[in-house]
Chain A
Amino acid sequence: MGRRMWDVGRETMKPKASRAAFGEAIEELGAKNTNIVVLDADLRESTKTGAFAKKFPERAFEFGIAEANMIGAGVGLALAGKVPFVCSFACFITGRFDQIKVSLCYSRAAVHVIGTHGGIAVGADGYSQQGLEDLALMRSLPHMLVLQPADEIETKAATQYLTSHKGPSYMRLTRHNLHPVNKDSYRFIPGKGVILSEGKDVTLVASGGTVKPALDAAEALAQAGKSAQVINIHTLKPIDTELLAEAARKTRRLVTIEDHTIYGGLGGAVAEALSETNPVPIKRIGLTDFGESGETDELLEKHGLSSRRIADQVLEFLKRLV
């Protein structure tokens, strides 16, 4: 097999939105796998599936502003042996919960639900366009694989993985650029968390767009005399309980960092995973209220998701526990 575009790593790659990485991956994969079909609901420009649609018009279906019908049609295509990706904003597509629950999951259909514009980092469009509860919804569904890749290389590898995944899945992507966090040698293994940096005082658990800020926060913490390790959870369901338990035993304190509500998202998943076997104090950083309009960076700062605000909250958390 030749060198694929995602065989290069963080040393050489530039920041890229995970939605853009997905668009490039699906276009490339579509050439090899003629069963791949892409469904959109009037947001091709935003979900970045336009290149696929241009190249493979007979396998790209435009449903207009009608996500429920698009999801159902994706199910029919999957049950007939196609590999459908149904794409929209995270908030709109997971808002069709009943269709995803009954038509999709209960049919055990291998439909890949793609939710772009995850998180408050979406920016100026404001709360109604920001997917802030999508992971909580999708995690609750039986058989649903829930992914949130952290950079270009991981997004492309996850997309490639999904084309052979035999059940329902949800993948959450960002509108804004993500800095590379994975190395050249990175290999995506679904269900396995990734330790990106080692530490002994606290574990920062991040996912998607919060992984890079978590790594930066760990550096700031080192300067403040605290050794933080960083784990990237790209698979929220099934979550890597073993790796989290190991981290809980090692650092005895965890902080989860997510651009999503802390109720039922990454924080909820980590707390659920550890509460039965390795109960340790867990600080959940993330949203607790509606989102709002603003520039991406100022929103992340205001809502505690910039590297500086993350480091401050971690120090505060560690101080309270002493």
Chain B
Amino acid sequence: MPPAIESMTQRQTLSYRELKEIAREVRIDIIRMLAEAGSGHPGGSLSAVEIVVSLFYQIMRHDPKRPDWPHRDRFVLSKGHACPVLYATLARLGYFPREELMTLRKLGSRLQGHPDPAALPFLEAATGALGQGLSVAIGMALASKLEKNAWHTYCLMGDGETQEGQVWEAAMSAPKFKLDNLTAIIDYNKGQIDGHTWEVMDLEPIADKWRAFNWKVLTIDGHDFQKVIAAFKEARTIKERPTMIIAHTVKGKGVSFMENVIAWHGKAPSKEEAEKAIQELKDQKEEG
């Protein structure tokens, strides 16, 4: 395991190779947590790993020693069911002990099945009822404007949740308020509980929709660290309007038998399946 990385500067000197290594270990943590919990959402947690790791290790200004630092960048996990990826990342960064990951979804745990911000530091808002997080992020961005742009706000959304009407209320309002201090990301893994997004309720042409609502839209491969980080950096340079990063991803990424299989949206692996998945992820370690 790499040594604990504490400061923002140390984090930002990580190589792509080191980031890939962190992502691989976060995926192992996700599988372990879900297997121990016996329920949860592996598909949409695994698809968002590179996005979340990029933000917390490379892009966002935050300090695990001061989770309530007023000028920290904000992160709203609108797709609250993917909280295992956030929990695993926060624990690695030292926000709470890594052993605690194994209490996910258990009675008395701070790691609720969907985020409870009163329970753990740095969970900014309660999410889990889909379609609500972008609005909360807009409020945080408005507050930042009142504080002379003291922080940037990020919101990670699921693709399926853009079927909620509230998302389009939010989509309409962020450009009105010229929120260039807001970056949203859609984890476009194309799967939801009842099937593929194109079968359940097609989202296409998704980029055109956000463009029509006056967002700057960037479309990327959500598993390529170089592309993900470049997009986040570009978003910081956009003026007068918010940025939407549409990240094409693979649901269940990193575990062969979970990739693009809808059934793994909301089902925990058995002990045997978890062992197989972890072995696969261990085999993905790059030598050198």
* Contact between chains at A69 and B138 (CB < 8 Å): yes
Once bound together, how far apart are the Cα atoms of A70 and B172, in whole Å?
12
Kindly state the separation between the CA atoms of A191 and B147 in the bound complex, as whole angstroms: 34
CB distance from B116 to the nearest CB of A (A): 7
Chain B residues within 8 Å of A58, by CB: 146
Q: How far is the CA of A81 from the CA of B142 in the complex (A)?
A: 11
Smallest beta-carbon distance B4→chain A, Å: 28
Q: Indicate if A227 sits at the interface (CB-CB under 8 A).
A: no
When distances are taken between beta carbons in the complex, the residues of chain B under 8 Å from A98 are 129, 132
Contacts of B116 in A (CB 8 A): 106
**In the docked arrangement, what's the CA distance between A76 and B138, Å?**
7
* B173 contacts partner chain A, Cβ-Cβ < 8 Å: yes
- Given the complex of chains A and B, what is the CA–CA distance between A64 and B141 in angstroms? 18
In whole Å, how far is B135's beta carbon from the nearest beta carbon of chain A? 2
Q: How many A-B pairs fall under 8 Å by CB?
A: 111
With known contacts A98-B129, A103-B132, A72–B166 Cβ distance under 8 A: yes
B125 at interface, CB cutoff 8 A = yes
A190 CB, min distance to chain B CBs, angstroms: 22
Residue ID in chain B nearest A107 by CB atoms: B126
CB distance from B16 to the nearest CB of A (A): 33
Contact status B125-A76, CB under 8 Å: yes
Contact A76 B146 (CB under 8 A): no
Judge whether A77 and B177 touch: CB under 8 Å: no
Indicate if the CB atoms of A72 and B138 lie closer than 8 Å.
Answer: yes
A61 at the interface (CB under 8 A from B): yes
- In the complex, A35 Cα to B118 Cα: how many Å? 22
Instruction: Kindly state the separation between the CA atoms of A237 and B246 in the bound complex, as whole angstroms.
Output: 44
Are B126 and A73 in contact (CB-based, < 8 A)? no
- Kindly identify, within residues 128 to 167 of chain B, every residue whose CB is under 8 Å from any CB belonging to chain A: 128-129, 132-144, 146-147, 153, 165-166
Q: Is A322 an interface residue (CB 8 A)?
A: no
Tell me whether A73 and B136 are in contact (CB under 8 A): yes
B169 lies within 8 A of A69 (CB): yes
* Distance to closest chain B CB from A30 (angstroms): 13
Interface membership of chain A positions 153-180, coded 1 if the CB is closer than 8 angstroms to chain B and 0 otherwise = 0000000000000000000000000000
B146 and A64 contact, CB distance less than 8 A: no
Main secondary structure of the interface of A (DSSP, over half): helix
A74 to chain B, nearest CB (A): 6
* Residue pair A108, B135 in contact (C-beta under 8 Å): no
Give the interface residue-count category, chain B.
35 or more
What's the nearest-Cβ distance from chain B to residue A225, in Å? 55
A79 with B124: CB separation less than 8 A: yes
- With an 8 A cutoff between CB atoms, is B238 at the interface? no
- Closest Cβ of chain A to B163, distance in Å, is 14
Q: How far is the CB of B148 from chain A (nearest CB, A)?
A: 12
B218 in the interface, Cβ–Cβ < 8 Å? no
CB neighbours of A37 from chain B (8 A): 142, 146
Q: Which of A68, A101, A103 is within 8 Å of B169, CB to CB?
A: A68
Q: Does A148 sit at the interface, judged by CB under 8 A? A: no
What is the minimal beta-carbon distance from A81 to any residue of chain B, in angstroms? 7
Q: Contacts of A63 on B, CB cut-off 8 Å?
A: 169, 173
B89 within 8 A of A: no
A99 x B132 contact (CB < 8 A): yes
Q: Which residues of A contact B140 (CB under 8 A)?
A: 76-77, 79-80
The answer to the question of A71 belonging to the interface, with a C-beta cut-off of 8 Å to chain B, is yes
A93-123 contacts to B (CB < 8 Å):
98-99, 101-103, 106-109
Q: List 5 A-B contacts (CB under 8 A).
A: A37-B142, A63-B169, A69-B138, A75-B135, A106-B117
Q: What is A's interface to B at a CB cutoff of 8 Å?
A: 37, 58-59, 61, 63-64, 66, 68-82, 84, 98-99, 101-103, 106-109
Q: Which 7 A-B pairs have the closest CB atoms?
A: A76-B139, A72-B135, A80-B143, A106-B126, A69-B169, A66-B169, A73-B139
Given contacts A76-B136, A76-B141, 15 further A-B contacts (CB under 8 A): A63-B169, A69-B169, A69-B172, A72-B139, A73-B136, A73-B173, A74-B139, A75-B125, A76-B135, A76-B143, A77-B140, A79-B117, A79-B140, A80-B140, A106-B116
